[in-house]
Chains A and B, each alone.
Chain A
Amino acid sequence: MTKLTINLGDKATIKSSDIILLFNALRSAGYSVIGPTIREGTIVYEELTSIDDLPVGWTDEQEGGSYRLKKRSDNAFFGYNVGPHSWKKFLFPPSLRLWNARKNGNNFQILPENNDTPKFAFIGVRACELHAMAVQDKVFMNGTYIDPVYKSRREHAFIVAVNCGQAGNTCFCTSMKTGPKVTSGYDLSLTEIIQDEIHYFLVEVGSEIGAEILNQIPHESAENKDIESADRIVEETAKNMGRTLDTNNLKELLYNNYDNPRWDDVANRCLSCSNCTMVCPTCFCTTVEDVTDLKGENSERWRKWDSCFTVDFSYIHGGSIRSTVRSRYRQWLTHKLATWIDQFGSSGCVGCGRCITWCPVAIDLTEEVSIIRLSNNNSESLSSDKSDFREKHNH
């Protein structure tokens, strides 16, 4: 064996033509390989049957309410930004049977579900998406109760992260401090480097298992110039964020603006379609549905993704707590950017921009927040004028 032994924390390079070997190594290690592929004009995450499924040479153009695929001038494997899917659909299935009940006279039995844990290898996980996983980890694995399905899928997953070589128009990970550089939570991370005719990857090893896999494919020790090239790519990406979000005192800002008139404005545009919650990589709400067969003898309980944008979501006998679109949008945004911090210790937003791109009416949370900030500043200066006046008046 002439292969170099690589360890945790090491950096290496692999040829672009050898990416297929990474693919094969993961498959022979028993992983079901999940990665980007083109479906109905979008780049989504699905199980890949071969390396040919990757969207080689494709990129996307995104804006509020718009997404278009476009041919690239090169053969980049990962030359696109995040699409409508996120990895949560594998770790936190959109629909999951919890148990099955079987009737027997006036009695019944409950049969637990034996959920086998699929072993996923995720290829092409971006920095913002790793942060999104960390956010969901806090929801599902850090409290008194633990979601067993999420936990086992998460712990068995192999992660091949990718540093973003370009920023989308709706991206703002630099504002949320979640990217574009992958910093932790991966087994292997790749930076795709295309210089003239040379096309290769800088690989960083983030775990022992990552090292084991990399040791099965040809690689060379990374040189300084490779590392510098990779750094430059990420720096360039960071400079080209399509959006920004000022997070300074954001929690307090939203807590102080439950009655801001801007919520009415956004309510006039919002369709309450719940797209933003479905594409969001951190949104975790679910409902349960009981499905009973026609004979009424078998009943299954399913857990399904739900959205705080539905009227039913907050229903208690008599009516819904949040019956207006205004209150539902406010709930979503205030949860994501403010109450989340108090609940889980970090923002619920990772700056991936999906909710902006996939909003059919192009509502942009970065814009909504900056307008609320502006009106808050204006009214604050007004109220401080008023208190000045009162003080003077009283003297």
Chain B
Amino acid sequence: MENLEKILAEHPFLQGLESHYLDLIVGCASNVKFDAGQFIFHEGEEANQFYVIRNGKVALEIFSPERGAIEIDTLEEGDVLGWSWLIPPYHWRFDARAVELTRAIALDGKCLRNKCEEDHDLGYQLLKRFAHIIEQRLQSTRLQLLDVYGTHS
């Protein structure tokens, strides 16, 4: 557990968080490992965790019957995977698949949701951090949508 605490404390996502909150989060954390090709979660499933990726590579995909699996984003070391645990109805919107052997810290979202409801300061701290991640993903998604390398003629 000491190891987990160290990793989480140093992670930019949780930087600056007061130590008693960090303790609380560490209490909800566990080490996980996914083999290459293994799905971490599937679209539609209940979203009760999020992941801080320690190493490896995860593809976010959506499946279309005509086109097969379409990868929309890749997450790697240092990235935070998943925010559906935070927003009702707490269901995953995409598939997440480990592209290679991936190690991560899983955080129990259900447990954190309850703690956030009890302590709004913690809720604010976490939401602020997720808002930043969501903003980054939104910006890059917009840029992707622009299809800037297309010919447009």
The answer to whether A and B touch directly, with their CB atoms under 8 angstroms apart, is yes
Chain A interface residues (CB < 8 Å from chain B): 317-319
Chain B residues closer than 8 Å to A317, beta-carbon distance: 151, 153
A319 to B152, CA, bound (A): 9
**B45-74, CB under 8 A of A: which get 1 and which 0?**
000000000000000000000000000000
Using Cβ atoms and an 8 Å threshold, which residues of chain A touch B151?
Answer: 317-318
Expressed in whole angstroms, the Cα–Cα distance for A283 and B47 within the complex equals 65
Can you show 7 pairs from A to B with CB atoms below 8 A apart? A317-B151, A317-B153, A318-B151, A318-B152, A318-B153, A319-B152, A319-B153
CA distance A361 to B103 in the complex (A): 71
Give the distance in Å from the alpha carbon of A318 to the alpha carbon of B149 in the complex: 11
Q: Which 7 A-B pairs have the closest CB atoms?
A: A318-B152, A318-B153, A317-B153, A318-B151, A317-B151, A319-B152, A319-B153
Report the Cα distance A139→B151, complex, angstroms. Answer: 35
Give Cα A318–Cα B153 distance, bound, in whole angstroms: 5
Which chain A positions have C-beta within 8 A of B153? 317-319
Proximity bits, B100-117, A CB within 8 Å = 1, else 0: 000000000000000000
Closest to B150 in A: A318
Residues 114-153 of chain B, each 1 if its beta carbon lies under 8 Å from chain A, else 0: 0000000000000000000000000000000000000111
Complex CA gap A319/B151 in Å reads 10
- CB-based nearest B residue for A318: B152
Q: Which partner residue on chain B sits nearest A317 by CB separation? A: B153
CA distance A318 to B146 in the complex (A): 14
Q: How many angstroms from the CA of A317 to the CA of B153 in the assembled complex? A: 7
Taken together as a complex, chains A and B put the C-alpha atoms of A387 and B151 apart, in Å, by: 45
The interface residues of chain B lying within 8 Å CB-to-CB of A319 are 152-153
Task: Report the minimum CB–CB distance from B135 to chain A (whole Å).
Answer: 27
Q: How far is the CA of A206 from the CA of B152 in the complex (A)?
A: 58
Q: How far is the CA of A318 from the CA of B151 in the complex (A)?
A: 7
Residues of A within 8 A of B152 (CB): 318-319
What are the interface flags for B80-91 relative to A under an 8 Å C-beta threshold, 1 for contact and 0 otherwise? 000000000000
Closest CB-CB distance, A76 to chain B, in whole Å? 58
Q: What separation, in Å, do the CA atoms of A366 and B86 have in the docked complex? A: 61
Contacts of A318 in B (CB 8 A): 151-153
How near does chain A come to B148, taking the closest CB pair, in angstroms?
Answer: 11
Q: Name the distance in Å between B153's Cβ and chain A's nearest Cβ.
A: 5
| Closest A residue, CB atoms, query B152 | A318
Question: With A and B bound together, what is the CA distance between A318 and B152 in angstroms?
Answer: 6
CA distance A191 to B95 in the complex (A): 87
Q: Closest A-chain residue to B153, C-beta based?
A: A318
Shortest beta-carbon distance from A176 to chain B in Å: 42
- What's the Cα separation between A318 and B148 when bound, in Å? 11
